Structure 1
Amino acid sequence: MTNVNLITGFLGSGKTTTIQHLLNQKPEHENWAILVNEFGEIGIDGALLANQGAVLKEIPGGCMCCVNGLPMQVGLNMLLKQAKPDRLLIEPTGLGHPKQILTMLTSEVYQPLLNLQATLCLLDARQLSEERYQENENFRDQLAAADIILVNKCDTYSVENKNTFMQWYENNGLNRPFHYIEQGNIAAELLNSPRLNIQALPDGSHHHSPRPNGLAALQLQNNKGWRRALNQGQGYTSCGWIFDAETCFSTAALLDWVRLSPVDRVKGVMHIPEGTIVFNRQGFDLKIETQPVAPVDSRVELIHSADAAWNDLQNALLKARVNIE
């Protein structure tokens, strides 16, 4: 039987970084798998989590939380059959509703196969002060479905942020455990916590445009140098690009583009002269990491709570390329 944990949290809460910390603690004798879903089509999280000691299956395009759940079922069945994992970590999109997934994981067909343990929800407590998050049903219901609340990025909080969280917890915590953490750093022992929160959740809205499959991230075809993909739903729009392995970007120009793009979220794994740059921007918070080896390809995704001038942003990104003949 496979032990399963759902790792939820709204956009920018730190789910992928948390999973990376958990993978670093994986017991050598255990076989782990990850089922990851993103709102956009590009598959940034899959690139970040690849080759880290676990079998990975991507479901881009927000399909995991669909009302029909078909991509989720197919991806889950493929992982269970091919990897036969001891533990499965499921990372839904930050715009996903947890009810559909929890209902599926506890369904009769999976009871002999899965042992659903604690659902962990990442929270950036600064978001509790913003009306657009408070009014978002997925933000509220992700927290409502959690067995354990991980109050992430606590090193960035003001006293007011912590007071706001404690006020929220007094009204909504239901005595569930919570942990203040930094940069998604948690102990893997939390995964063995039981699932105790079985309160009924409302149905979530179908939150994205339909797509024909949803079992693999966008790939380049016919020797094209790059492609772009859009997705929209639940008041958010994503625009992402994938570039071939030969395309290289000026480090300074790319970072200016990342910092100055007028959108809520920027996330990417890109080829630069020094190798690879990984960046993750939520609002004004920007995390950057460099690696000496070039990536297989370059991927970047923007997400915004409204439409944006995608063509202008694309032109600026294309101008950041180097070694173009």
Structure 2
Amino acid sequence: MTYVNVITGFLGSGKTTTLRHLLSQKPAHENWAILVNEFGEVGIDGALLADQGAVLKEIPGGCMCCVNGLPMQIGLNMLLKQKPDRLLIEPTGLGHPKQILSLLTSDTYQPWLTLQATLCVLDARQLAETRYTENENFRDQLAAADVIIANKQDTYQPADQQRLAEWEAAAAAGRPVVAVQQGEVPLTWLARPRENQRELPDGAHHHAAAAAPRGLAALSLPGNQRWRRALNQGQGYTSCGWIFDDETVFDTIPLLEWVRLAPVERVKGVLRIPEGTLQVNRQGQDLHIETQAGAPADSRIEVINPGETDWNALQRDLLKIRLVTSA
């Protein structure tokens, strides 16, 4: 029997950081698996979660939450065949939780898995903005959770603490609200039973449709191309991601400036630099960077923004800071 937890949370709440912290606490005798879905086509979380001691299956390019989401079922079946002791599922931050929870509790999967507590990772600063609080996914992710993880508490101002307390009083309905920073969730929360049985409304169709290539990405590149770009759109958001080959190296300081100054809401990447690997994670003005000695298999970076953005201008600036630019 495999124990399963769903880790939800809106864009930028810190789900991947939370997963990495949970994986760091994995008992040595247990086998774990991760099923992760991303809104963008490039797939950054898989690179961030690689080599963390768990079997990983990644579903990029939209939402695995649709009722007929075959990628979700295929990925789930592949992982369950390996009989992991625990499976952690991270849906995209733009995904609605109802269909995933319905699938996991269906008769089909009852002999194979036990669904335990669903955790929703929340950045309480988002409670101040109606673009979040009026978003049905944001609301229903919180409504579906057994435990609410108020992440990034070290960044909260008194007004954020007050809004979180008001939300807890009005909507938590006795469910625990745990304040943490850097996703430092105790492993014991995973073993809690699933007690929240409230019926969620049906979410809108959340599958993102891939946008047509534009600008440089629309060119017919030669077979030895060094990079490619992918766009994806849905729910008023657009993602643009780039993947570069294993010989491309970026100039570290200009790359950090590009990440810091890009006029977008979300930046996430794993890139090769002269010093090894640079991991970047930016939500709004919050920027987290991490370096590692070894080099990644390739370089990947993705940005997400509501509305239209000049992707070609961002791309031109990104291409300029490559140290290997022969193609």
TM-score category by the smaller chain? over 0.9
Match of 1:43 in 2: 43
Contact 2:63–2:94 (8 Å) recurs in 1: no
Amino acid at match of 2:144: A
Match of 1:214 in 2: none
Superposed CA offset, 1:84-136 (max 9, x none): 10000000000000001000000000011110000000000000000100111
Amino acid at match of 2:179: Y
The answer for unaligned runs of 5 or more in structure 1 is 212-219
- Partner Cα distance (1:131, 1:43) in 2: 28
- Partner Cα distance (1:208, 1:111) in 2: 26
Amino acid at match of 2:245: D
1:247 aligns with 2:218: no
Contact 1:63–1:71 (8 Å) recurs in 2: no
Q: Give 3-state SS (helix, strand or coil) of 2:246's partner.
A: coil
The answer for unaligned runs of 5 or more in structure 2 is 211-220
1:72 is displaced (CA, Å) by: 0.4
Q: Which moved more, 1:284-293 or 1:61-70?
A: 61-70
Contact 1:95–1:138 (8 Å) recurs in 2: yes
1:322 is displaced (CA, Å) by: 0.8
1:221 is displaced (CA, Å) by: 10
Match of 1:55 in 2: 55
Superposed CA offset, 1:248-288 (max 9, x none): 10011111110111000000000111111000000000000
Superposed CA offset, 1:150-206 (max 9, x none): 000000101110000111111111110111001000111110001000100011112
Task: Map residues 87-126 of structure 1 onto 2, 5 A cutoff.
Answer: 87-126=86-125
Q: Give 3-state SS (helix, strand or coil) of 1:57's partner.
A: strand
Match of 2:64 in 1: 64
1:222 is displaced (CA, Å) by: 4.2
1:132 aligns with 2:110: no
Task: Map residues 136-215 of structure 1 onto 2, 5 A cutoff.
Answer: 136-210=135-209
- Partner Cα distance (1:64, 1:132) in 2: 23
Amino acid at match of 1:91: E
- Partner Cα distance (2:241, 2:199) in 1: 35
1:260 aligns with 2:266: no
TM-score (structure 1 length as normaliser): 0.95
Q: Which moved more, 1:63-72 or 1:193-202?
A: 63-72
Which ranges of 4 or more aligned residues in structure 1 deviate by more than 4 Å? none
Contact 2:64–2:207 (8 Å) recurs in 1: no
Match of 1:313 in 2: 314
Contact 1:208–1:232 (8 Å) recurs in 2: no
Contact 1:145–1:199 (8 Å) recurs in 2: yes
Instruction: State percent identity of aligned pairs.
Output: 68
Alignment CA distance shift 1:116-1:221 (3 Å)? farther
Contact 1:128–1:165 (8 Å) recurs in 2: yes
Contact 2:63–2:208 (8 Å) recurs in 1: no
Contact 2:4–2:87 (8 Å) recurs in 1: yes
- Partner Cα distance (1:141, 1:10) in 2: 10
Q: Which moved more, 1:104-113 or 1:58-67?
A: 58-67
- Partner Cα distance (1:267, 1:32) in 2: 25
Superposed CA offset, 1:213-258 (max 9, x none): xxxxxxx994321010010001100000000010010011111110
Match of 1:278 in 2: 279
Contact 1:208–1:231 (8 Å) recurs in 2: no
- Partner Cα distance (1:289, 1:177) in 2: 31
1:65 is displaced (CA, Å) by: 1.2
Q: Give 3-state SS (helix, strand or coil) of 1:110's partner.
A: coil
Contact 2:168–2:177 (8 Å) recurs in 1: no
Q: Give 3-state SS (helix, strand or coil) of 1:322's partner.
A: coil
Q: Give 3-state SS (helix, strand or coil) of 1:280's partner.
A: strand
1:209 is displaced (CA, Å) by: 3.0
Amino acid at match of 2:259: V
* Aligned CA-pair RMSD: 1.3
The alignment of Structure 1 onto Structure 2 pairs a total of residues equal to 316
- Partner Cα distance (2:266, 2:236) in 1: 14
- Partner Cα distance (1:158, 1:138) in 2: 25
Q: Give 3-state SS (helix, strand or coil) of 1:126's partner.
A: helix
Q: Give 3-state SS (helix, strand or coil) of 2:108's partner.
A: helix
Q: Give 3-state SS (helix, strand or coil) of 1:109's partner.
A: coil
Match of 1:217 in 2: none
